C-alpha cells in the first residue's frame, strides 16, 4: 500500500521538471493528483516555458499509476483562476489533502541595479505572490475537510543563501520561507503541516534549457564558477527533490512543520 492512499494532492508548475516528478511520485504512492501550469513563456524568464502538451504528458504519467488526474492551464498569478480551479477540483474529487507549491522561473542580471524593472516584478509576481495566491486558493479546501493536511513550498538554497546576479530570485525565495513559517504557525491548530524544500542545482529546463546556465556564467562567472556541490554530482535528478517532498507530505513527517529542508548535495556545507 502506498504512503498517500486515499489522498488528493495538488501540484503547481507540473507540466515538466520537478513538478512532473512530484506528480508522478505522489501518484505512485496512491494519491489522485490535481495539476496545473502556466503552459506559456514568461517574458523575462531565461528559459522557454512548458507547453500544454507537456502538461498532458504529466497527466498521462499520473494515470499510468492507475490514479485520477485533473489537469488545467492556470497561471499562479491569477487568483480568480486558481479559485475556480480549486472549486473544480473539489467537485471532481470531493477533498484536497496535500499541496506542493512548485512553479517557478529564473532570471539574472550581472548586478542587482542592472536588472530590468519588468524582470524584478515578474519574478516577485510568479515566485512569491504566486506562491501566496496558490496557498490562498487551496488552503480553504484543505480546511473544509477537517482532516488536517500537509503543504510543501519549493524555495531554494538561494532562499537560505542568496545568489549574486539573482537578486529577484533570491529575494522571492527568501520570502517563500517566511510565507511557509507564518502558514506553519497559523495552520498548526488545524493539524495542517507546512514545510519548505530548498533544492540545490537540479537537472531541469530551468537550468539546462535555452542556454540558461551559459548566460548566468557569462554574466557572473566569478560567482557561478566558484559554487560546488560537496557530494559528487553536478545537477541532481528531479526525483531527489520529489523524495523529500513525498516525505514531508506523508505521515512519515507527521511531527515536522515549519522546516526549511535543503536538498543540495552539500552545497551549503561551506
Ligand atoms: N532547477 C533548479 O536547479 C532549482 C533549484 C532550486 C529551486 N528550484 C525551484 O524548483 C521549482 C521547480 O522548477 P524546475 O527546476 O522544475 O524548473 P522548470 O522550469 O522545469 O519548471 C517550472 C515550471 O513552472 C511553470 N510555471 C512558471 N510560471 C508559472 C505560473 N505563473 N503559473 C503556473 N506555472 C508556472 C513552468 O511552466 C514550468 O513548467 C521552482 O520553484 C524553482 O525555482 C529549481
- What is the Cα–Cα distance from 155 to 103, expressed in whole angstroms? 10
Q: Which residues pair with 37 in a beta bridge?
A: 73
pLDDT digits (tens, 9 = 90+) for 162-197: 999 999 999 999 999 999 999 999 999 999 999 999
Pocket test for ligand 1, best of 14, 18, 48, 211 (most atoms within 8 A of CB): 18
Spatial contact of 179 and 151, defined as CB atoms under 8 Å apart: no
Range list of H helices, the chain? 17-28, 52-64, 79-93, 117-123, 130-145, 157-160, 167-188, 205-208, 212-224, 238-249
- What is the Cα–Cα distance from 85 to 11, expressed in whole angstroms? 12
Q: Is the pLDDT of residue 207 over 90?
A: yes
Is 169 assigned a catalytic role? yes
Full set of structural domains in the chain with CATH: 8-263 (3.40.50.720)
- pLDDT given for residue 195 in this prediction: 99
Q: Is the pLDDT of residue 225 over 90?
A: no
Higher-scoring residue by pLDDT: 219, 195: 195
Quick check: pTM over 0.95? yes
- What is the Cα–Cα distance from 30 to 1, expressed in whole angstroms? 8
Residues 6+ apart with CB under 8 A from 244: 197, 261, 263
Q: Is 201 in the pocket of ligand 1 (CB under 6 A)?
A: yes
- pLDDT given for residue 211 in this prediction: 81
pLDDT tier for residue 210 given thresholds of 50, 70 and 90:
confident
Residue with CA at minimum distance from ligand 1 atom 29:
38
Residue with CA at minimum distance from ligand 1 atom 28:
104
Ligand 1 centroid to 146 CA: how many Å?
A: 30
| Mean pLDDT within 98-115 | 97
- pLDDT given for residue 37 in this prediction: 98
Q: Is the pLDDT of residue 216 over 90?
A: no
Residue with CA at minimum distance from ligand 1 atom 20:
17
- pLDDT given for residue 270 in this prediction: 84
CA proximity to 220, closest of 169, 155, 265, 159: 169
- pLDDT given for residue 164 in this prediction: 92
| Mean pLDDT within 227-252 | 95
Amino acid at each position: 500500500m502506498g504512503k498517500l492512499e486515499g489522498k488528493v494532492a495538488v501540484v503547481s508548475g507540473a507540466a515538466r521538471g520537478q513538478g512532473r516528478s512530484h506528480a508522478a511520485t505522489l501518484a505512485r504512492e496512491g494519491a489522485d493528483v490535481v495539476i496545473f501550469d502556466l503552459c506559456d513563456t514568461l517574458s523575462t524568464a531565461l528559459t522557454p516555458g512548458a507547453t500544454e502538451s507537456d502538461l498532458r504528458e504529466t497527466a498521462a504519467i499520473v494515470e499510468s499509476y492507475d490514479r485520477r488526474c485533473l489537469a488545467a492551464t492556470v497561471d499562479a498569478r491569477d487568483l480568480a483562476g486558481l479559485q475556480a480551479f480549486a472549486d473544480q477540483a473539489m467537485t471532481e474529487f470531493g477533498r484536497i489533502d496535500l499541496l506542493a507549491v512548485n512553479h517557478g522561473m529564473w532570471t539574472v542580471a550581472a548586478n542587482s541595479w542592472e536588472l530590468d524593472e519588468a524582470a524584478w516584478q515578474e519574478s516577485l509576481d510568479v515566485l512569491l505572490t504566486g506562491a501566496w495566491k496558490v496557498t490562498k486558493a487551496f488552503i480553504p479546501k484543505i480546511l473544509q475537510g477537517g482532516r488536517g493536511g500537509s503543504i510543501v513550498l519549493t524555495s531554494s538554497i538561494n532562499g537560505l543563501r542568496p545568489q549574486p546576479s539573482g537578486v529577484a530570485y533570491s529575494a522571492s525565495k527568501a520570502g517563500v520561507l517566511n510565507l511557509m513559517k507564518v502558514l506553519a504557525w497559523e495552520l498548526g491548530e488545524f493539524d495542517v503541516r507546512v514545510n519548505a524544500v530548498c533544492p540545490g542545482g537540479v537537472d531541469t529546463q530551468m537550468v539546462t534549457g535555452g542556454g540558461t546556465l551559459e548566460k548566468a556564467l557569462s554574466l557572473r562567472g566569478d560567482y557561478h564558477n566558484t559554487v560546488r556541490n560537496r557530494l559528487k554530482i553536478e545537477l541532481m535528478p528531479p526525483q531527489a527533490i520529489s523524495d523529500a517532498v513525498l516525505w514531508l507530505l506523508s505521515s512519515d513527517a507527521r511531527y515536522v512543520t515549519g522546516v526549511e529542508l535543503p536538498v543540495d548535495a552539500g552545497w551549503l556545507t561551506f
